[in-house]
Amino acid sequence: MPSKSDIKTDIEFLQSLEEGEVISQMTLSKRIGVSIGFTNALLKRAIHKGYVKAKSAPYKRYAYYLTPRGFSEKSRLVVEYLDTSLDFFKNARNQYSEIFETIEAQGDKASVLLGGGELAEIAIMAAWDTKVEILAVIDNTTHREKIGNIPVLDTLDKIDNYDVMILTDSEAPQETFEKASQQYESIDLIVPEFLRIHSLDALVNTGKVKA
């Protein structure tokens, strides 16, 4: 089954061709955020399946446009993406709820989230049902000042008196995990299982992780 990100890429690819405009593969690759090689592969597959047709244009360019079958496929993918997103949300919400319940049962009351974006939003909602306080979201790649009512900071050095860190980075979770494990060895870092993070010697499931 295609992943959520794969489905999203396919949707963005088909949407970018809806207007039937003259476009280079380089421009198309920038629109959907993938390499030119992968863009070429997407085009070949879509043309082979009858989703897209191409017409020659001046200066060695092409006008790509969706066929009726292509519009139908885009609609199908949108529905599939929404279903996949809902399943992802439910799974992530359940795992973060379990994490906060465990933290509360251990007597810990304060936590910080490592990584902004949709996972931080899901984790914040999951914490509402517990007495655990989220002090901050740590993310130096976003321009947001708050997620929900939680302040967003660019470094952990700006906050203290927290009990645990929880990984909520969906963009580069492995990298964030490794950096945090090395930089904050004495702090418990909790990782939800669905992120599939690898420590130096084992897959890290939900629970406390010491690097």
**What is the distance between the alpha carbons of residues 22 and 159, in angstroms, rounded to a whole number?**
52
Q: What is the pLDDT of residue 98?
A: 95
Q: What is the pLDDT of residue 203?
A: 37
Q: Where are the domains of the chain?
A: 4-66, 91-209
What is the residue whose two structure tokens read 């139908």?
Answer: 72
**pLDDT digits (tens), the chain, 211 positions:** 456 678 888 888 888 888 777 778 888 888 888 888 998 899 999 999 999 998 887 766 778 888 889 999 998 888 888 788 888 899 999 999 999 999 999 887 889 999 988 899 999 999 998 999 999 999 988 778 888 889 999 888 878 788 899 999 988 888 888 888 888 777 788 999 988 887 644 434 444 443 3
Residue 126: strand, helix, or coil: helix
**What is the distance between the alpha carbons of residues 131 and 199, in angstroms, rounded to a whole number?**
29
pLDDT tens digits along 89-98: 999 999 999 9
pLDDT tens digits along 151-181: 999 888 878 788 899 999 988 888 888 888 8
pTM of the prediction?
0.67
Q: What is the pLDDT of residue 60?
A: 67
Q: What is the pLDDT of residue 192?
A: 92
Angle at 148 between CA 146 and CA 154, to 5 degrees: 30
Q: What is the pLDDT of residue 170?
A: 84
Residue 53: strand, helix, or coil: strand
What percentage of the chain exceeds 90 in pLDDT? 31
Out of 3.90.870.10, 3.90.45.10, 3.30.70.20, 3.40.50.720, select the CATH number for domain 91-209.
Answer: 3.40.50.720
Please compute Rg for the chain using Cα positions.
Answer: 21
Going by CATH, does the domain composed of 4-66 fall within 3.40.50.300?
no
H or E element that contains 173: helix 173-183
**What is the distance between the alpha carbons of residues 65 and 189, in angstroms, rounded to a whole number?**
48
